[in-house]
Structure 1
Amino acid sequence: MEGLEQWKKQAEQWSSQALQQWKKQAEPLWSQAHEYIQQVPPTQIYAALSILLLTSVLLLLGRLFKRQKANTILLSGLTGSGKTVLFYQLRDGSSHQGTVTSMEPNEGTFVLHSEKSKNGKLNPVHLVDVPGHSRLRPKLDEYLPQAAGVVFVVDALEFLPHLRAASEYLYDILTKASVVKKKIPILILCNKTDKVTAHSKEFIRKQLEKEIDKLRASRSAISTADIADDFTLGVLGEPFSFPQCQNKVTVAEAAGITGETTQVEQFIRDHVKY
């Protein structure tokens, strides 16, 4: 016990000596720093403090902004599916007959046309009509990080001739890392259903599921080196269906030319709140 007490006293003495030595070494540095601060004009000190405060505020606002609910809805789909007509119907209540296929996204932030007569505060929607040409589809990736939802527009009138192409595009969207990780909801919107010969949404859903199931089987044989960022769709060993997706996928109908956009508006308001 006496040896232990002596060891403790010796340790305390060493600690005290080390602390005193550190203080002696730090005193000149502190003195130099104090003298330097005194030489700095007060305006520079105030400027430095202002910059520090402003930076802190901006960082705080940035974190708060990231927490805010996204208000961007993306209109995607093949060229000719009627995305641009839907965009104008939602914005202006008009089909804008005579519009041509755009090589750049149409986008705008606005209150939906059908809601302009409503009282109270309305949350504007940032709507983006992404070009459907295969070379321009990568533009979709630029908007996905801010997306609250994706509307995949399908031509219900000329559906079967474009089934393969539409399924491939939809498959690519469903397997994007940004879509899966954020569980971005997707609405498959069957457009042009005002036409007598248009296919029903149930028929379109089933055909898309069958075609995507074929794509899933064929693409699983490809080396994962080329699709490292993709996620596997569905349940292994089972036929593919949309309920198997990690994000919610629903199917609805619309007629852009006649202005029947009730179901797509409901989807928008389900994910961009008032």
Structure 2
Amino acid sequence: MDVDKMELVKAQIEPFLRQGEAYVRRVEDLVRQIPPTQIYIAVGAVLFTTILLLLIRAFKHKISNTIVLTGLSGGGKTVLFYQLRDGSSHQGTVTSMEPNEGLFVLNSETSKKGKIKAVHLVDVPGHSRLRPKLDEYLPRAAGIVFVVDAVEFLPNCRAASEYLYDILTKANVVKRKIPLLILCNKVDKVTAHTKEFIRKQLEKEIDKLRTSRKAVSDADISNEFTLGVTGEAFSFSQCVNKVTVAEAAGLTGEILPLEQFIRERVKP
């Protein structure tokens, strides 16, 4: 009985097998009739299209819309975050203990017509114990904004310089040449220091740090790079990544330099 069933199945399958063989032979005949030059052109076109699509995909993947706000606590990062998001100062905010994060069109651009690219803005807490969170965002950052309190700058100059030094020597920042804006906030106050003064003081402090840290071996700071030029006083112009200095007043909404920096990094 089993043998009869097998013979029946075989008889039913054989016509389909013959049709398949005939189809394969027809395809082979057609391929043989195509000139080799046309085959090469077709294969080349497929390869070119594949490579082009892969390149486009890789390029899109590299384009980031993430801007990171960082700096010491009390500098006004959270106020700047809300000014960018909805145009309010949120004066009731306190020192952030978790990153403020949002994807939005800048408030100053909401009335513009046409499609405008949203910005992924991250406000990283400035507390020393929370700074490692910065490393989570650097691999996809298009720009870094280091916020400095222009009023309370001198008492915090050393601490700000150390934090800035650590950022500028991080592998992700150096290898990807992430642009950095030193934003001197609260310049609307009478006692605020100018951006020129702040820049010079930061450069002096970082120069001292650079000298003192030369004794640390590469094994101890394997994720860091050397800053500046040997034998010369440090200046931000020596950095691999572009470093600029600007002024802002978060509480009064005077943040145009910040908005310009963001839009240079994240195109509309």
TM bucket by the smaller chain?
Answer: 0.7 to 0.9
Aligned residues: 218
Q: Which residue of 2 aligns with 1:147?
A: 141
Q: How does 1:13-92 map to 2 (within 5 A)?
A: 63-64=57-58, 67-92=61-86
Q: Which amino acid is the alignment partner of residue 196 of structure 1?
A: V
Q: Which amino acid is the alignment partner of residue 182 of structure 1?
A: R
Work out the CA distance in 1 between the residues paired with 2:257 and 2:115.
22
Query: Could you tell me how far 1:241 is from its partner in structure 2?
Result: 0.1
- RMSD (Å), alpha carbons: 1.8
Once the two structures are superposed, what CA deviation does each residue of 1:91-139 show, in whole Å capped at 9, x if it has no partner? 0100011111121100000000000011111010000000000011010
Query: Could you tell me how far 1:261 is from its partner in structure 2?
Result: 0.5
Q: Which residue of 1 aligns with 2:128?
A: 134
Q: Which amino acid is the alignment partner of residue 195 of structure 1?
A: K
Work out the CA distance in 2 between the residues paired with 1:97 and 1:200.
23
Q: Which amino acid is the alignment partner of residue 243 of structure 1?
A: S
Q: How does 1:245-264 map to 2 (within 5 A)?
A: 245-264=239-258
Once the two structures are superposed, what CA deviation does each residue of 1:6-31 show, in whole Å capped at 9, x if it has no partner? xxxxxxxxxxxxxxxxxxxxxxxxxx
Work out the CA distance in 1 between the residues paired with 2:129 and 2:188.
30
The structure 2 residue matched to 1:106, chosen from 90, 100, 103, is 100
Work out the CA distance in 2 between the residues paired with 1:246 and 1:62.
27
Residues 1:122 and 2:137 aligned together: no
Q: Secondary structure at the match of 1:127?
A: strand
Residues 1:273 and 2:267 aligned together: yes
Once the two structures are superposed, what CA deviation does each residue of 1:197-243 show, in whole Å capped at 9, x if it has no partner? 10000000000000000000001112222111100000000000000
Once the two structures are superposed, what CA deviation does each residue of 1:162-220 show, in whole Å capped at 9, x if it has no partner? 00000000000000000000000000000000001100000000000000000000011
Q: Which residue of 1 aligns with 2:156?
A: 162
Query: Could you tell me how far 1:67 is from its partner in structure 2?
Result: 3.5
Q: Which residue of 2 aligns with 1:207?
A: 201
Work out the CA distance in 2 between the residues paired with 1:221 and 1:68.
36
Unmatched tracts of structure 2, length 5 or more: 1-16, 18-49
Q: TM-score, normalised by structure 2?
A: 0.78
Q: Secondary structure at the match of 1:189?
A: strand
Q: Secondary structure at the match of 2:261?
A: helix
Q: TM-score, normalised by structure 1?
A: 0.77
Q: Secondary structure at the match of 1:233?
A: coil
Work out the CA distance in 2 between the residues paired with 1:90 and 1:142.
22
Q: Which amino acid is the alignment partner of residue 147 of structure 1?
A: A
Query: Could you tell me how far 1:144 is from its partner in structure 2?
Result: 0.5
Q: Which amino acid is the alignment partner of residue 206 of structure 1?
A: K
Work out the CA distance in 1 between the residues paired with 2:233 and 2:154.
20
Q: Which residue of 2 aligns with 1:230?
A: 224
Q: Which amino acid is the alignment partner of residue 227 of structure 2?
A: L
Unmatched tracts of structure 1, length 5 or more: 1-37, 39-55
Work out the CA distance in 1 between the residues paired with 2:59 and 2:82.
29
Residues 1:179 and 2:186 aligned together: no
Once the two structures are superposed, what CA deviation does each residue of 1:147-171 show, in whole Å capped at 9, x if it has no partner? 0000000000000000000000000
